[in-house]
């Protein structure tokens, strides 16, 4: 069953079409890669899907329900949550408190939220830093904190926006393993924006390519690297 259906989604900023008639769907449990040059409209599409912007046109259907214009916190309660390309933890709060904020999407009990937060900090390997100030973490750990925070909302679907951006190869590898572990454990569908083609090829079952706001191609990783239009618009120049 399709857990997410994007139907003819467009988003205009003045005269600029940041997304233009984008359609695709995702099956439950899969990992979809979303790639394309800078400015292609990847982050805007995440914003349209998760309620940060209403789409100018088209429909976003999650788990059988039309979301158009639904607020992000309601979307989160339905089970869909995103991470941010520019990670912005609550710097003056502890690592644990940051993750508890995610958990409080689902429970009103601080005790339960604390338990969930510890559990998810273990998943990402940060439990030993739970009392550190979030603002003092290096970038690699801030990215893991971001993943723990969204996992703590107990989602059905995660949208990860350049969660490996700015990381060294060893740190990226940890994130790749984390994404694969989340898939392995089951129950969570993932859409991943990522520039590192080797990483995206390894983790994605399918890939959607955006270019100038439009869907340029969709297919398996093999189909995408062999797609002439994709090579010309994106892969040829950057990789
Ligand atoms: N809030 C906004 N207001 C005006 N233009 C925006 C806004 N957000 C994004 N854009 C523009 O939309 C286009 C797509 O941006 P973005 O979705 O961030 O691309 P990507 O994530 O693929 O790099 C860019 O031209 C960007 O400048
Ligand atoms: Mg972006």
Amino acid 190: pLDDT: 98
Q: According to the model, what pLDDT value does residue 183 have?
A: 97
Q: What's residue 225's pLDDT?
A: 94
Nearest CA to ligand 1 atom 10: 18
**Given a cut of 80, is residue 238 above it in pLDDT?**
no
Residues in the chain: 239
Nearest-atom number in ligand 1 for the CA of 38 is 23
Mean pLDDT of 115-120: 97
Report the Cα 101 to chain-centroid distance in Å. Answer: 18
Domains: count for the chain: 1
- Nearest bound ligand to CA 15? 1
The mean pLDDT value for 232-239 works out to 73
pLDDT at 6 over 60: yes
Q: What is residue 29's DSSP assignment?
A: T
Enumerate residues lining ligand 1, CB below 6 A: 13, 16, 18, 36, 38-44
* Residue-level pLDDT at 88: 81
Segment 171-229, tens digit of pLDDT = 999 999 999 999 999 999 999 999 999 999 999 999 999 999 999 999 999 999 999 99
Distance in angstroms (rounded) separating the CA atoms of residues 216 and 227: 10
List pLDDT tens digits, range 46-96.
999 999 999 999 999 999 999 988 999 999 999 999 999 888 888 899 999
Mean pLDDT of 147-171: 95
Conformation bin of residue 90: beta by default, left when phi > 0, alpha when psi is -120 to 50? beta
Q: Give buried/exposed letters for 39-61 (b at 16+ CB in 10 A, else e).
A: ebbbbbbbbbbbbebebeebebb
Average pLDDT over residues 165-173: 93
Which of 9, 14, 16 to mutate for ligand 1's pocket (most ligand atoms within 8 Å of CB)?
16
Residue nearest to atom 3 of ligand 1 (CA): 13
Please give the mean pLDDT across all residues of the chain: 94
How close is the Cα of 17 to the center of ligand 1, in Å?
9
**pLDDT per position as a tens digit, 27-43:** 999 999 999 999 999 99
Q: Which ligand is nearest to the CA of 86?
A: 2
Residue 87, domain extent: 2-236
Q: Which ligand is in closest contact with the Cα of 40?
A: 1
* Rounded distance from Cα 74 to ligand 2 centre (Å): 23
Domain with residue 182: its CATH number is 3.40.50.300
Identify the pLDDT of residue 21.
98
Round to whole Å and give the CA distance between 59 and 48.
Answer: 10
pTM: 0.94
């Amino acid at each position: 069953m399709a857990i997410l259906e994007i139907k003819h989604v467009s988003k205009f900023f003045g005269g600029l079409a940041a997304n233009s008639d984008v359609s695709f769907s995702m099956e439950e449990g899969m990992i979809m890669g979303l790639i394309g040059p800078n400015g292609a409209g990847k982050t805007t599409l995440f914003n349209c899907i998760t309620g940060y912007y209403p789409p100018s046109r088209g429909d976003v259907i999650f788990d059988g329900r039309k979301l158009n214009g639904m607020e992000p916190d309601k979307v989160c309660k339905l089970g869909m949550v995103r991470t941010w390309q520019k990670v912005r933890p609550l710097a003056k709060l502890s690592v644990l408190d940051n993750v508890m904020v995610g958990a409080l999407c689902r429970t009103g009990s601080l005790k339960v939220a604390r338990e969930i937060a510890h559990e998810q900090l273990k998943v990402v390997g940060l439990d030993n830093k739970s009392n550190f100030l979030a603002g003092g973490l290096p970038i690699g750990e801030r990215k893991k904190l971001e993943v723990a925070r969204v996992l703590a909302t107990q989602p059905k679907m995660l949208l990860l926006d350049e969660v490996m951006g700015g990381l060294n190869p060893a740190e990226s590898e940890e994130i790749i393993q984390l994404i694969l572990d989340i898939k392995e454990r089951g129950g969570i569908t993932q859409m991943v924006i990522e520039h590192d083609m080797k990483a995206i090829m390894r983790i994605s079952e399918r890939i959607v390519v955006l270019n100038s706001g439009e869907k340029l191609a969709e297919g398996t990783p093999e189909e995408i690297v062999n797609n002439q239009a994709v090579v010309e618009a994106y892969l040829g120049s950057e990789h």
